[in-house]
Amino acid sequence: MDGMMKTGADYAWFENDFPDIAEAYCFTLVRGLSPAEVVSRLEGRPEAPLRGIAAVVDAAFAQFDSAEGDRQLVAMTTVGAWTLLVEPNGYLGVTEERALPASAGTSWISHFVNINGVGTFLWAEDQVLRLCFDPMFPDDRGGTAPDELLGVLQRIGFHFGEETPETDLSSPAAFALAEHLTDVAITPELLKETTFTCATVRIR
């Protein structure tokens, strides 16, 4: 299985192919819940569906402007046993006071980066925070199982130690780690061709 493991390099296409969302996003995978059930747990409000990530990005920024930053657009689709949530310029998926209660009875894997390059990877199981760290600084890990995936993190391509890598693959590596935990591969086709179920969620 390790020979099949994706690495950060396998997701390098994301920043090149989707620059409008790559600079600030949150991707979350929730096992065994439908999009409607996830929206209910987040106390969201259903919105019209959108086809393709470009339309989602445009709608997310329009939503932010119209609601003066009070509500976040969340786009969702079912991938196997998981619901994928995409938040352009969002962070609900890695907000512990929202994610941990919403993870009751299930798995919640989320990763985020903002326009300043600050990131978070969060893995929760049934309201317990298993692992949380900034992908740029994987030496500093929290949660109840901070070392359980240490070997996986190293093989995927997170950079440990003080040396600066020639190419920073910390954000793409977060996609690879999420795939390792869920077996859900994010692909260009998925992002371009999916008709997403959408909702808005109050963020403050």
Pick from 135, 123, 96, 142: which is nearest to 180 by CA? 123
- pTM value is 0.95
Buried/exposed 101-136: b ≥16 CB within 10 Å, e otherwise: ebbeebbbbbbbbeeeeebbbbbbbeeebbbbbbbb
Here the tokens at position 108 are 């919640």
DSSP E strand boundaries for the chain: 25-31, 45-51, 71-79, 82-88, 107-113, 119-125, 128-133, 141-142, 195-202
pLDDT at 2: 47
Q: What is the mean pLDDT of each run of 10 residues along the chain (204 residues)?
A: 78 96 97 97 96 97 81 96 97 97 98 95 98 96 97 93 77 97 97 97 86
Asked if 73 contacts 88 with a C-beta cutoff of 8 angstroms, the reply is yes
Here the tokens at position 25 are 């996003």
Q: Pairing state of beta strands 128-133 and 119-125?
A: antiparallel
Helices (H), 79-129: 96-102
Asked if 178 contacts 184 with a C-beta cutoff of 8 angstroms, the reply is yes
Taking the C-alpha atoms of residue 198 and residue 20, their distance in angstroms, rounded to an integer, is 19
pLDDT at 163: 67
